[in-house]
Structure 1
Amino acid sequence: MAIFFTILLVLCVAGVAHTYLVYPWYVVKRAGARPWAGNQLVPHAVWMPGNFAGRDATKDWPDVHVLMAAHNEEAVLERKLTTLADQDYPGKLHYYVGSDNSSDRTNQILTDWANRDDRLRPTLFTSRQGKPSIINQLAIQAGTEGVYVLTDASVMLRPSTVRELVRPFLNDAKLALVDTTMVQTGGTARGIGETETQYIDREVAIKRAEGKLWGAMIGPFGGCYALLAGAYRPVPDKFLVDDFYLCLSAYEQGYRGISSATAIVEESVGQHLRDEFRRKVRISSGNWQNLIRFRNLWWPPWRNPLAFAFFSHKVLRWLTPFLLLIGGLAWVGLAVTTLNPYVLKSVAVVTAVMIGGVLLDAVLSQLGIHVRALRKLRYFLAMNLALLVGFYRYLTGISSNVWQPSNRN
């Protein structure tokens, strides 16, 4: 029995270590040592290596259709629309914004802007739709030609963002998705802002490395990214994470996706653990929808680079709370069956550190004392708990994809 518990514990530790330590180190290190490489990712994908440097001067820039859903976004909407209006994109730009039955000044702001700028085409919905449904309807309005830029109201663009998003499409017919580089602002040690900023920066590096190595970064951030209009597939009803669905749908068609280092956007990082927990629960539920829907892209994980990246970066990450629980039970089982004092002590010490660390961070934060190690531990455990709650909600059935925006203060 001890052998069984040992093997189970080793497998769980290996799974968590691979997704959080080994894979990020491997993919970033390897991408730093080699250029864009032409590996076939999915069946029937035709690889056409892209060289994007200095070859767009004589190109015709495609029409760009910005798609955005908004619900009660008066706090950020004026600034958001200003960043869209200030784009220096060489081609034509159109802005499609769907107000999801907003009850604040969102509709008035959109109407006023539309009267001043005929590129803005607002749709004011009188009943809640949910972001994916609104994006589906806006995509119909925009048509199937050109490039979509899908963005959130809270994400601010720099003047060159749209141009840099579209640039890679000019020379690569098999490229369908280009993600921005997200710069988080306002992160402090007071809440979880600093920890969240570090997490986002790490994810940016991993996704950029995946795109450089294999042309398949595993999912855009969702706050702002470009998608080839012809690769768009309507997001199914009740699906919660539309950006990941659209990304994987494009890969399923044989397209590729990369992260751009020059298309930069900014977003104010969340400071409140409660808000981030709620957001992660919703994302977790949607992740399981996509995990099952696109299981052909990640199983078996050794089939091709896309499957390996998907399994390593996302599947194991979403399974981490289960690996932690099973590994913990195996560790306890090993201690009980062997009665080894070192194993018993290690279980007691780790348990005390985890519980005590979370409680201590909660108390110290109320006193204005912020210890980075304790905050990271609390954040890690809270986010994995959110994954568990999200899985439970997925199992019990998702009845709606209507969402509430995060705190914009």
Structure 2
Amino acid sequence: MELNFTLPYQQAINSWEIILWTGIVVVTYTYIGYGVLLFFMVKMKQWLRPEAKFQFTRENLPTVTFIVAAYNEEDYIEDKILNSLQVDYPKDKIEFWFVTDGSNDKTVDIVQQYSGQVTSWHSDERAGKIAAMHRAMQMVKSDIAIFSDANAMLNIEAVMEIVQCYANPKVGAVAGEKGIAMAAEEQASGAGEGIYWKYESQLKKWDYQLYSVVGAAGELFSVRTSLYEPVPSDTLLDDFMISLKIAAKGYRVAYAPEAKAMEQASLNVEEEMKRKVRISAGGLQSIYRLGGLLNIFKHGLLSFQYISHRVLRWTLAPLALPLILVSNFFLILHEHEIIYGVLFNAQLAFYFLAFLGKILENKKIKIKGFFVPYYFVMMNLSVYMGVARLLKGKQSVKWDKAVRASSTTP
């Protein structure tokens, strides 16, 4: 009896080819394709159904509570207070609250020096940022609540730009614009982080023009007070979940690109990795807890945006990267088609650039081509680390802040 090994061999080749090309499609769509598709969808919408314009007059602006939850921010808090007080908004319609739960440095003393201009809410217990936010929101009586991080400096128009978005009654939350200070971009972390956020900003702009931003960042975001819904105390990405729970109710999350929150880049990529691991763990936690948003038959366009912009980045795309490399390696060993060799060499070149970025980290070399691949690899590696942290229960809501470049002495 003659055994035929040809069929199983060919099936193995076909399987590796499916893995390779599926992985390439997933990664390409996640990081490039969605942006291209989004651009054309927005252009089509603007042609078929232009967006209606809404605007408050200065006389009928809503009331605002501006909330900063801070833990041991003595290096930034005074600058944050002064920066907040200079925003352009009627003083009789805005309150500034600083919630300093658990702070045991000079943060509370500094805030209390500005009594009469800002309100200090302090508790000795350190329960995490989300607990501080919930405690504050139980006392908010204003129409709008705006949240901002202690180390994020705003432009003078920030509050007004955010509030004007609420003139549209369909808007339930607003995401501001995060920026990375240019002075730090000569470092590895600054280059990769800055370019990443510029791309993210463009995607947010198109997301909102199409329908809704899919999640806000804590540097600067806002909600209608009446729509605020507490999330579980162990939530890692509170800002993300709070805004998306509002979107799930049928409201849009707007994007205010002229409401800018600037912060320094992380001191180095290791410090930025702290943030990315926590964000990745929180992203996976959010996907589980916001499972209903995956139902495209119920949430339609919002589900499409959520899956394309967020879910794939925290699930299939990071998983696809090693599978692409392994399947490609198998195929060049058993198939002699040029395309497989070109793809494999291109991957090796990309990862080599990432390795050089690691070598040159924190050296003042203005070749961002090294640092962008490094940041990309680090960002995807953080997903695996986030999974491990989440499964082991080691990612606390009381996370340590990443050290920023400005916090060191030159």
TM-score range, shorter chain: 0.7 to 0.9
Q: How many residues align?
A: 391
Q: Deviations over 1:250-283 (max 9, x none)?
A: 0121111111133233222224101110100001
Q: How big is the alpha-carbon RMSD for the aligned residues of Structure 1 and Structure 2?
A: 2.5
Task: Confirm or deny that 1:23 pairs with 2:34.
Answer: yes
CA distance in 2: counterparts of 1:302 and 1:211, whole angstroms: 19
TM-score, normalisation: structure 2: 0.88
Match of 1:12 in 2: 23
Residue 344 of structure 1: how far off its partner (Å): 7.0
Q: Conserved in 2, the CA contact under 8 Å of 1:364 and 1:370?
A: no
Tell me which amino acid in the other structure corresponds to 1:152: D
Q: Conserved in 2, the CA contact under 8 Å of 1:37 and 1:212?
A: no
Evaluate the alpha carbon distance shift between residue 399 and residue 178 of structure 1 in structure 2; reply closer, same or farther with a 3 A threshold. closer
Match of 1:71 in 2: 71
Q: Deviations over 1:177-199 (max 9, x none)?
A: 11222232123223321221111
Residue 351 of structure 1: how far off its partner (Å): 5.7
Tell me which amino acid in the other structure corresponds to 2:53: N
Q: Conserved in 2, the CA contact under 8 Å of 1:97 and 1:121?
A: yes
TM-score, normalisation: structure 1: 0.88
CA distance in 2: counterparts of 1:139 and 1:166, whole angstroms: 18
CA distance in 2: counterparts of 1:10 and 1:301, whole angstroms: 28
Task: Confirm or deny that 1:257 pairs with 2:284.
Answer: no
Q: Conserved in 2, the CA contact under 8 Å of 1:71 and 1:405?
A: no
Q: Deviations over 1:123-143 (max 9, x none)?
A: 222122111111111111214
Evaluate the alpha carbon distance shift between residue 24 and residue 73 of structure 1 in structure 2; reply closer, same or farther with a 3 A threshold. same
Match of 2:53 in 1: 51
Task: Confirm or deny that 1:178 pairs with 2:179.
Answer: no
**Farther-moved stretch of structure 1 (175-184 vs 304-313):** 175-184
CA distance in 2: counterparts of 1:263 and 1:67, whole angstroms: 16
Task: Confirm or deny that 1:99 pairs with 2:79.
Answer: no
CA distance in 2: counterparts of 1:78 and 1:37, whole angstroms: 49
Q: Which of 238, 243, 247 is matched with 2:239 structurally?
A: 243
Match of 1:194 in 2: 191
Question: Where do 1:264-303 residues align within 5 Å?
Answer: 264-300=260-296
Q: Deviations over 1:225-254 (max 9, x none)?
A: 121111111121211101110111101211
Tell me which amino acid in the other structure corresponds to 1:82: L
Match of 1:138 in 2: 136
Residue 50 of structure 1: how far off its partner (Å): 4.6
Question: Where do 1:1-400 residues align within 5 Å?
Answer: 1-32=12-43, 34-35=45-46, 50-52=52-54, 55-57=55-57, 60-90=60-90, 92-114=93-115, 116-117=116-117, 120-143=118-141, 145-170=142-167, 172-185=168-181, 186-214=183-211, 216-300=212-296, 304-319=300-315, 320-336=317-333, 338-340=334-336, 342=338, 345-346=341-342, 349-350=345-346, 352-365=348-361, 368-397=364-393, 400=396
Q: Deviations over 1:205-238 (max 9, x none)?
A: 1111111111x11112220112111111112121
CA distance in 1: counterparts of 2:130 and 2:257, whole angstroms: 27
Tell me which amino acid in the other structure corresponds to 2:399: W
Residue 34 of structure 1: how far off its partner (Å): 4.6
CA distance in 2: counterparts of 1:240 and 1:367, whole angstroms: 33
Evaluate the alpha carbon distance shift between residue 334 and residue 193 of structure 1 in structure 2; reply closer, same or farther with a 3 A threshold. same
CA distance in 2: counterparts of 1:152 and 1:58, whole angstroms: 27
**3-state SS, counterpart of residue 180 of structure 2:** strand
CA distance in 2: counterparts of 1:177 and 1:36, whole angstroms: 26
CA distance in 1: counterparts of 2:215 and 2:363, whole angstroms: 38
**3-state SS, counterpart of residue 188 of structure 2:** coil
CA distance in 1: counterparts of 2:395 and 2:180, whole angstroms: 32
**3-state SS, counterpart of residue 166 of structure 2:** helix
Which contiguous aligned blocks of 4+ residues in structure 1 show a shift greater than 4 angstroms? 36-39, 300-303, 341-348, 365-368
Structure 2 unaligned segments of length 5 or more: list them.
1-11
**3-state SS, counterpart of residue 385 of structure 1:** helix
Residue 84 of structure 1: how far off its partner (Å): 1.4
User: In percent, how many aligned pairs have the same letter?
Assistant: 25
**3-state SS, counterpart of residue 142 of structure 1:** coil
**3-state SS, counterpart of residue 113 of structure 2:** helix
CA distance in 1: counterparts of 2:130 and 2:304, whole angstroms: 28
CA distance in 1: counterparts of 2:366 and 2:239, whole angstroms: 34
Residue 98 of structure 1: how far off its partner (Å): 1.5
Residue 290 of structure 1: how far off its partner (Å): 0.8
Tell me which amino acid in the other structure corresponds to 1:95: F
Residue 36 of structure 1: how far off its partner (Å): 9.6
Structure 1 unaligned segments of length 5 or more: list them.
40-48
Q: Conserved in 2, the CA contact under 8 Å of 1:191 and 1:271?
A: no
Evaluate the alpha carbon distance shift between residue 295 and residue 86 of structure 1 in structure 2; reply closer, same or farther with a 3 A threshold. same
**Farther-moved stretch of structure 1 (57-66 vs 202-211):** 57-66
Q: Conserved in 1, the CA contact under 8 Å of 2:268 and 2:361?
A: no
CA distance in 1: counterparts of 2:24 and 2:31, whole angstroms: 11
Q: Conserved in 2, the CA contact under 8 Å of 1:222 and 1:243?
A: yes
Q: Conserved in 2, the CA contact under 8 Å of 1:164 and 1:263?
A: yes
Residue 60 of structure 1: how far off its partner (Å): 2.0
Residue 27 of structure 1: how far off its partner (Å): 1.5
Tell me which amino acid in the other structure corresponds to 2:42: A
